[in-house]
Amino acid sequence: MTARLAASVSFLDWMQQVQTGMEAVLDRFLPSPAVVPARLHQAMRYTALDGGKRVRPLLVFAAGELFDTPLPLLERAAAAVEMIHVYSLVHDDMPCMDDDALRRGKPTVHVQYDEATALLVGDALQAQAFEVLSGVTGADDSALVPRQLRMLNLLAQASGSVGMCGGQAIDLASVGMTLSLAELEQMHRKKTGALLRAAVMLGALGGKALSADEMAALDDYAGAIGLAFQVVDDILDATADSATLGKTAGKDAADNKPTYVSILGLAESQALAQRLRSNAHQALAPFGDKAQRLRELADLIVQRKA
Ligand code: GRG
């Protein structure tokens, strides 16, 4: 990826630069398709490359701008969080979980390859994420090692049983059940919110030290966008079509899953997404203009159509 773009660059151009750059970064950090076991490596690349909105890497880079995080560390953090995200999608799509055949506009890994390969792709991407984040960043990397340690700890917590995996466990257990709004929120703060929060915090922790107030403000922002992302996901699942989403639409209702739309209705869910966007903006007030990209990402998350 090239050096940071000036703040005068439009949000769209910045986003496209990060998305394109991420393709090259992931290509660099994924095992070569020629290395044994070639089929596993090809399947890892099939699912991780050429697809997805790259929301988590965008958050890493936007938060990194606030704290002057060095580019090599930003690239590693962005690749690591995207690999964890992709692994979660591959496992989530398997017949033992959501049993889905379409993801990012392509057949899911267990359909394109087979179930055992899908399981291993997820496992290997998870390990690869931690290898990448713990890797050497450059010649003068010793000063970065303490930061990397904190980042590794954060990513492990966000991915594990008190984070994303825990949220998925609650999700699987709640099929066909009536959840209160508070229970639904708790599930999503873990399942989707934990990794989105990690993306923001990873970008920040790689840079100069954060004060307690800065940490709390970023946490508030990350919490608001994490929940907004899921509210919008529920809205899109109920209102968009599969071709637009690149995944099967209407799945939540078909699977009898509690969602924001099923509990609050469409209009109230849309109002909630707007309130969360405004909360995210408010949380960024102490950072002034430097947080412009994070503000724009909050808008994107709420206004997205896929
Ligand atoms: C299997 C351990 C394990 C966890 C799965 C996140 C998750 C937990 C499952 C995904 C199910 C799902 C569709 C959740 C809704 C929110 C979400 C994470 C959507 C997909 O993320 P996007 O929209 O996807 O950022 P792209 O493809 O753009 O990266």
Q: For residue 3, how many other CB atoms are within 10 A of its CB?
A: 6
Ligand 1: which of 92, 175, 261 to mutate, most ligand atoms within 8 Å of CB? 92
Which atom from ligand 1 is nearest to the alpha carbon of 92? 1
Q: pLDDT at residue 240 above 90?
A: no
User: In the predicted model, is pLDDT for residue 2 greater than 60?
Assistant: no
Measured in Å, residue 89 CA sits from the centre of ligand 1 at 5
**109/76 Cα distance (integer angstroms):** 24
Residue 6 pLDDT class (50, 70, 90 cuts): low
In a 3-state reduction of DSSP, which class is residue 102? strand
CB–CB of 202/132 below 8 Å?
no
Element (H, E) at 103: strand 102-103
Helical ranges in the chain per DSSP H: 11-29, 38-48, 55-67, 71-92, 109-112, 115-134, 145-159, 164-173, 181-188, 194-205, 212-239, 242-245, 251-254, 260-264, 266-283, 292-303
**End-to-end Cα, the chain, rounded Å:** 26
Give the residues surrounding ligand 1 with Cβ less than 6 Å away.
52-53, 55, 85, 88-89, 91-92, 97, 104, 164-165, 168, 191-192, 230, 233
Residue appearing with tokens 């922002």 = 221
Q: What is the pLDDT of residue 123?
A: 98
Residue nearest to atom 4 of ligand 1 (CA): 88
How many alpha carbons fall within 13 Å on the CB side of residue 30?
A: 30
pLDDT for 70 equals 93
Q: How far apart are CA 295 and CA 221, in angstroms?
A: 9
207 CA → ligand 1 middle, Å: 27
Q: Measured in whole angstroms, how far is the alpha carbon of residue 15 from the centre of its chain?
A: 15
Q: How high is the mean pLDDT of the chain?
A: 93
Burial class of residue 221, CB neighbours in 10 A (0-12, 13-18, 19+): buried
In the reported structure, the alpha carbon of residue 255 is separated from the centroid of ligand 1 by a whole-number distance in angstroms of: 16
Structural tokens at position 205: 């922790």
Give the dihedral sign, CA 143/144/148/151.
positive
Length of the chain: 306
Residue nearest to ligand 1 atom 5, measured at CA: 88
Over residues 94-117, the pLDDT tens digits come to 999 999 999 999 999 999 999 999
For residue 252, report the distance from its CA to the centre of ligand 1, in Å. Answer: 13
Q: Give the mutation target among 110, 192, 245, 304 for probing the ligand 1 site: most ligand atoms within 8 A of CB.
A: 192
- Give Cβ neighbours of residue 146 (< 8 Å, ≥ 6 apart): none
| 206 Cβ neighbours under 8 A, 6+ residues apart | 64, 67, 69, 70, 73, 74, 77, 144, 147, 148, 151
Banded pLDDT at 12 (limits 50, 70, 90): very high
Atom of ligand 1 nearest to the CA of 55: 25
Which of left, alpha, beta for 229 (phi over 0: left; psi -120 to 50: alpha)? alpha
Report helix, strand or coil for 182. Answer: helix
Tens-digit pLDDT profile for residues 112-168: 999 999 999 999 999 999 999 999 877 677 888 999 999 999 999 999 999 999 999
- Domains of the chain from N-terminus onward: 11-303 (1.10.600.10)
Is residue 204 within 8 Å of 210, Cβ to Cβ?
yes
Nearest CA, atom 24, ligand 1: 52
pLDDT confidence tier of residue 258, bands split at 50, 70 and 90 = confident
The ligand 1 atom at the shortest distance from the C-alpha of residue 230 is 16
Q: 107 in helix, strand or coil?
A: strand
**In ligand 1, which atom is closest to the CA atom of 97?**
1
pTM above 0.85? yes
Give the range among 106-110, 248-252, 279-283 with minimum mean pLDDT: 248-252
Of 167, 137, 120, 180, nearest to 29 by C-alpha is 137
Ligand 1: nearest atom to the Cα of 246: 27
Write down the residue that tokens 């392509």 correspond to.
106
Phi, psi of 246 (to 5 degrees): 70, 10
